[in-house]
Amino acid sequence: ASELSARDRMFYDSKHLLYYWRLTPDRRLLFGGRAAFAPTSVSRAAAILEQARQLVYPQTRRLRVEYAWGGNVGFTFDRLPHIGRHDGVHYALGCCGSGVAMLTYLGGLLARRVGAGTDLPLEASPFEQIPHPGGPGLPGLYEGRPWFLPIVDGWYRVRDWSTRNGVGPN
């Protein structure tokens, strides 16, 4: 454990299909990331991430996976967080896989909005200023069914491969 994280830090890489990892309080390695954009099983995602973990830390090859889980992650089309108000409803969304940390912060900002007129300080946020783009512009092209995610997955894999191998722009 000390070899992997001497200072007990949280790590993530900068790929489009990123990995993240940290040590848990009981000194086990928690390793996660985007296994695929297409629907997949937890066991398949675990196998993909197991292989990735061994690439990042070859010395962990002998370790066995004790737990695996999966689920959906909500992404905005611009991959940026947004907060605001629509039809009287305050919202925070688009943390794109960083929700635990980011939504704690954004939730505090929204609490101040909802509590306006109280003793809570009201502060501006740059996340309110980010334009909020919708999906592809053709009507009916995207109606909540992300048919295009396998294409995005392939595109990001090619970009990550080209960056890793020094081929083309990142």
3-state secondary structure (DSSP) of residue 119: coil
Average pLDDT over residues 147-153: 84
List the beta bridge partners of residue 20. 12, 32
For residue 83, give Cα distances in angstroms to 51, 99, 143. 36, 13, 22
Distance CA 154, CA 57 (A): 25
pTM metric for this prediction: 0.66
User: From CA 28, how far away is CA 94, in angstroms rounded?
Assistant: 29
pLDDT in tens, 33-92: 888 877 789 999 999 999 999 999 999 999 889 999 888 777 787 878 888 888 888 888
Residue 77's nearest CA partner among 13, 146, 140 is: 146
Average pLDDT value for the chain:
83
With CA atoms as reference, report the closest residue to 32 among 64, 68, 66.
68
Residue with the bigger pLDDT between 74 and 136: it is 74
Q: Residue 124 and residue 131: Cα distance in Å, rounded?
A: 15
Instruction: Name 64's Cβ contacts closer than 8 Å, sequence gap at least 6.
Output: none
The whole-number pLDDT of residue 146 equals 79
110-124 pLDDT, tens digit per residue, is 888 887 766 655 677
Question: 115 in the Ramachandran plot: left (φ > 0), alpha (ψ -120 to 50) or beta?
Answer: alpha
pLDDT score, position 42:
93
Residue 163 binned pLDDT confidence (cut-offs 50, 70, 90): confident
pLDDT at 141: 73
Name the more confident of 167 and 118. Answer: 167
